[in-house]
Structures are given as C-alpha cells and as structure tokens.
Amino acid sequence: MKKTRSKWLKAVSLITAGVLMAGVCTSCGKTADKDENEKTVITVGGWPSKDGKEKDNIEARKARFEEANTDVKITPDNWNFDLKSFYAKAAGGQLPTVYNTNFTEASQIIESGYSADITETLKKHGIYDKINKNILDIISKDGKVYAYPYNAYALGLAYNVDLFEKAGLMNADGTPKQPKNWDEVVEFAQKIKKATGKAGFVFPTSGNNGGWLFTSLAWSFGADFMKKGDDGKWKATFDSAEAAEALQWIKDLKWKYDVLPANTLIDHTELFKLYGTGEAGMLISAGDLHWKVSQYAMNPESIGMMAMPTGPKKHVTLMGGMIYSVSNKATKNQIDAALRWIETAYSPEATDEFKENKKKDIDLALEKNQIVTIKSMSPWSSDSDAVKFENNLRDEKANANPNHVKLYNDFMADMGDCELRPEEPVCAQELYGVLDGCIQEVLTNKDADPAELLKKANSDFQSNYLDNLDY
C-alpha cells in the first residue's frame, strides 16, 4: 500500500517555466547524454545513501555492469521516488534517467508524459514478448509501453486445509472446493463455523488494512472510489449503491451469518495469527502469507490458496508490485543503457546469478518452515526461462501438497477474465483509514447503515484530502 498521489496544476506551471528557461540554457535540468570519453551517461535513482550491505551490493553490480558495458557510465542518484517531490523534479527535468516506483503510480506517470516510450527497446532486447500479458495493459498506453515491471503480486483467497476438511469442503483428489463468488464464500464460512466452531472468515478492520482489502471487494460489486475530472481535480465516488452493497456484505458476515471471530477489531498481525493458529477458515491474502504465519508454527500442509472469487458485477483482484520507469528526457542511447542496467538484476532470462539467488531464497524459506509450493504472480510470461526455472524449483522443493495451492497457482499463471487493478491512485492510505472506520462501525453497531456511513465518509474524504492536495 502506497502513499498519497496528486494533481497536476503546479506541475503544469513548472513545465511552462521549464520551457521558457530552455531557450536560455538547453542543458539545464538534464544529464548529459555523453561524457568526455563518449560514454553514454545514465543516472540511477534510489541509490543507497548509507554504507551497508545494500550499498555494497549495488556498487558491486555497478562495477560488473560498467566492466561489461564499456560504453556506459552510471551516475548514482540518492533520490527515492516520492510523489510530493516527483512532479516538481519531473517538470524541472531533474528526474534520474531510471527510477523505480510501484504499479499504483504507473497510470499517473504515464498519463503525465514523464516516462519514456520504451517499446522498441524492449523489443530489441527480447523483453517485450516475455512480459506477463495480464500486466502489459497497466504499463501501456495507446499500444506503447512506458514501464519495466520487475515484481508483482495479486490477491487470492487463503483457506485453512484442516478446517476445510472438517467442513467437507475438500475434493477427493486433494483440491479444495472453490467458492466461485462472494455468496458461496458465505456458504463455505457457515459450513466451517457449523462443523468446527471456528470463524469461517476473517477480515481486518484497522491499521488501514480493512480499507485496503475493502477496495478490492467493492470493485467486484461495481464500485469506484474516485475519478479525475477534466479539470484535473479528483472526485470521491464511493457514496454509491455498489459500495454500500459491498459494505453490507461485510456487515452480514457478523450480524446475519455470525461467521467472523468474536473480536472483529483486528489489525494485520491479528488477522494472520487467527489464520496461523487455526482459528479462522478463510481470508483474502496475497501468496506471501506463508512467511506471515510461519511464526505460529502452522503446518505447511494446512496452508491453502485459491483464486479470488468473483463479485456480482465483475471478476477483479487487487495487484501490486514494482516497476522501473525511464525519464522522458532520456535519449535513445540512454534508454538502451537504462534497460541494460535493469536487466542485470531483473530479466525474464534465467541467468546463473538468478538461479543461484533463487535457490538461496527457497532454501532460506524452507529453513523458516515457510511454504515454497505457492507460485505467486510473475512480471514475466509463463514460458519465460526465469518463470519456468523458478516453478520447476518450487515443484522440486515442495514442502506441502501442491493440490492445496493448485487453484491459486493456476490463477497466477492464467487469470482469464479477471481484471488486475492497482491501488487507488491518490490519497490511498487516507482512503483506507476512512474505510476502516466504516467497517468498524458496521461490525460493532447492528443498526449501522452502510449507505449513510459511506455517504459521510465520501464527503469527509473529499473535503479533508482530495480538496487539499497541494502537489
């Protein structure tokens, strides 16, 4: 979950100023394409400023890269992506040649014109056809690609295998029965509660975690949370019947179906504790839940994952991860050099270094009793060498029944008609906090009206946050 986003009015004024200055100083705000030795110069953002392992590793990577790419010189830049400073730097032409951010910002950065079209260079490097097709649309506009993805995740439905077995929700072949929609999730939760006395479902309500997951749920009911107008201003839009229906669904889990834990005011830590100690049957989660529950000594065989259920209006799931963008000021040579640099660490090719690092990661996970059988979303297509190597390695090292996570693994490999959607583009954390309050209210007050709560929350969010964006 990422921090607040922004509008463009100040950036526009800064752009205008930059254009005027360009006639006076054509090199202002730009890194030279070539140095005195005719090497292509690129600045790399996010460079560690403090001494330590992270800095040592990237300095060693820089040395290896420049030795292998004698036509390129890398200039470190300590600036880390931050929306509040991004637009001022971008308008002034001060962005690093290459910088990393997350999928949440992708659409805004692309729309602003501050990221370079890297389509042809991706094709030249053999990367374009290896990008996960489910991700490609998010980093593209009008058929052109403006970002380089390097990790990704998507939400699914986690379940406790032991509780599913006791509730008669496992198939004879060892795979779980899949609740196809949210109504069936309720039915499954009721069966778990009846058979085991445990909570059939658990949903966080604090620390912005409830609001975060609620957005994904509400999207499937047809809700939206904000839209950007032609004037560049953002408008809150979750005072809708669709959002109210989604909140009513959560309310009914408590007051109509009684399938939630007795204590409904829980944060992210308590959420995974309930699951990891066998007190809850299902929850919404990404595929990394294994390390979140390893501290509770949960048997890997008890961990299950499946596809995200569909909603009344659409099949959608929240996704996230990281991307690299290249400055719109970059020359063709700089774009090429930037992608070469990125590829030294993130590539669809299964390099020797990649193989070695992946083996170490999986061996470490096994030592910590973390399940390695879950295959999370990759930024690369399933036929890429890197994905095939990792998947084969996970199969070889499997420490749990693959059938327990097959539905999730298949979902990550081919999402079919499921829409991948990043987090809301501006004031996301503030939105989640507002939504946390709504969720808490419907779970502690039987008479709470979801529609009225969301109407007030929508108004408060607009006046307290969206109307006050200043960058």
Residue 326: closest CA among 26, 71, 61, 40: 40
User: On the CB side of 431, how many CA atoms lie within 13 Å of its CA?
Assistant: 28
pLDDT at 36: 61
- Burial label for 252, CB within 10 Å (0-12, 13-18, 19+), is middle
User: How many whole angstroms separate alpha carbon 223 and alpha carbon 236?
Assistant: 11
Identify the CA nearest to 311 among candidates 154, 156, 182: 182
Taking the C-alpha atoms of residue 182 and residue 165, their distance in angstroms, rounded to an integer, is 20
Which residue's structure tokens are 């939630």?
260
pLDDT range class, residue 366, cuts 50, 70, 90? very high
Q: Give the DSSP H or E segment for 228.
A: strand 226-228
Range name among 171-175, 246-250, 291-295, 389-393 with the lowest pLDDT average: 291-295
**Mean pLDDT, residues 285-308:** 91
Distance separating alpha carbons of residues 98 and 120, to the nearest angstrom: 17
**Residue 32, pLDDT score:** 55
Give just the sign of the alpha carbon dihedral 20, 26, 30, 33: positive
Half-sphere exposure of 198 (CA within 13 A, CB side): 22
pLDDT tens digits, 306-359: 999 999 999 999 999 999 999 999 999 999 999 999 999 999 999 998 999 999
Q: Which of 429, 420, 434 is nearest to 2 (CA)?
A: 429
The answer to whether residue 400 scores a pLDDT higher than 60 is yes
- Tens of pLDDT, residue by residue over 203-246, are 999 999 999 999 999 999 999 999 999 888 999 999 999 999 99
Kindly state the tokens that stand for 55: 């800095």
The H or E element that residue 428 is part of is helix 428-444
- The residue with tokens 């463009």 is 8
- Helix 9-22 to helix 83-91 angle, to the nearest 10 degrees? 30
- % helix, strand, coil for the chain, step of 5: 45, 15, 40
Could you read off the pLDDT of 107-150 as tens digits, one per residue? 889 988 999 999 999 999 999 999 999 899 999 999 999 999 99
Comparing C-alpha atoms, which of 300, 307, 317 is closest to residue 402?
Answer: 300
Instruction: Give the whole-angstrom CA distance, residue 388 versus residue 190.
Output: 39
Average pLDDT over residues 38-62: 94
Res 297: pLDDT = 86
Q: Which residues of 79-104 are buried (b: 16+ CB within 10 A; e: fewer)?
A: bebebeebbebbbbbbbbbbbbbbbb
Q: What is the pLDDT at residue 123?
A: 97
6 falls in which pLDDT band (50, 70, 90)? very low
Domains and CATH numbers, the chain: 31-151+320-358 (3.40.190.10), 156-319+363-468 (3.40.190.10)
pLDDT at 24 over 50: no
Q: What is the mean pLDDT of residues 373-386?
A: 94
Which pLDDT does position 20 carry in this prediction? 30
pLDDT score of 91 more than 50: yes
Buried-state track 183-217, b at ≥16 Cβ within 10 A, e below 16: eebbbbbbbbbebbebbbbbbbbbbbbbbbbbbbb
The pair of three-digit structure tokens given for residue 199, joined into one six-digit string: 């909570």
pLDDT the model gives residue 292: 87
CA distance 303 to 370: 10
